[in-house]
Amino acid sequence: KNEVEQSPQNLTAQEGEFITINCSYSVGISALHWLQQHPGGGIVSLFMLSSGKKKHGRLIATINIQEKHSSLHITASHPRDSAVYICAVKRVSGGSNYKLTFGKGTLLTVNP
Amino acid sequence: NAGVMQNPRHLVRRRGQEARLRCSPMKGHSHVYWYRQLPEEGLKFMVYLQKENIIDESGMPKERFSAEFPKEGPSILRIQQVVRGDSAAYFCASSRTNNQPQHFGDGTRLSIL
């Protein structure tokens, strides 16, 4: 079992819909990242969070440390939100707290 | 304020050749991380460097792969005698300290013929 699991793997939505992508992890962490990757493109860091909730524009990220779970929400989705969304955790383990462990990503397609 | 710069964006090599991938971190960042993204797989940690020092290379294959981050100039990931299985996207990230967010480059897509 992977240390970081994302669901769903693929998600298709209509423009304007509310999107939720989930991330569960099984290790102790100091922080969790949400990243965005467009096909053939680079990686953009959307959020880094260690507790609670963060909001940036139409994007909201939440984390529940006790349940080892995080969600990324997109409100009023738009075709330009189509991308792979990746959850990554920074583990707390004996001096290697810089390493990121990644989920396999969720491919989001938003149709007009 | 330029972000993390990687070059080349695309690199084609024949089996047995050498591949050199470059990464210039963001200004003020002295921590560099290399990750590999194999087709249909997630990103995997390879190596973490601070200026002139390799801190952790536990994710890097022991043979043919090496990394450096000299006092002057970009970080280099070097792959000798490339094989088909080395075809992947290689991403570099940098941070100001190892507790601060990592900023990623656009990656180098390596194709082996």
Could you read off the pLDDT of A23-62 as tens digits, one per residue?
A: 999 988 989 999 999 987 889 999 999 999 999 999 999 9
Q: Measured between alpha carbons, how far is B49 from A93 in angstroms, rounded to an integer?
A: 18
Among B9, B40, B102, B106, the residue to mutate for chain A (most A Cβ within 10 A): B102
- C-beta atoms surrounding A33 within 10 Å: 22
pLDDT at B113: 93
- C-beta atoms surrounding B107 within 10 Å: 26
Residues of B in contact with A102 (CB under 8 A): 35, 42-44
A71 exposure class (CB count in 10 Å sphere: 0-12, 13-18, 19+): middle
- State the nearest Cα–Cα gap between A45 and chain B, in angstroms: 7
pLDDT at B54: 95
**What backbone phi and psi angles, to 5 degrees, belong to A79?**
-50, -30
Considering chain A, what is the average pLDDT of its residues? 93
- State the nearest Cα–Cα gap between A76 and chain B, in angstroms: 27
Residues of B in contact with A41 (CB under 8 A): 106
Across the range A67-90, mean pLDDT stands at 96
Percent of chain A with pLDDT over 70: 96
What's CA A71's distance to the chain center, in Å?
A: 7
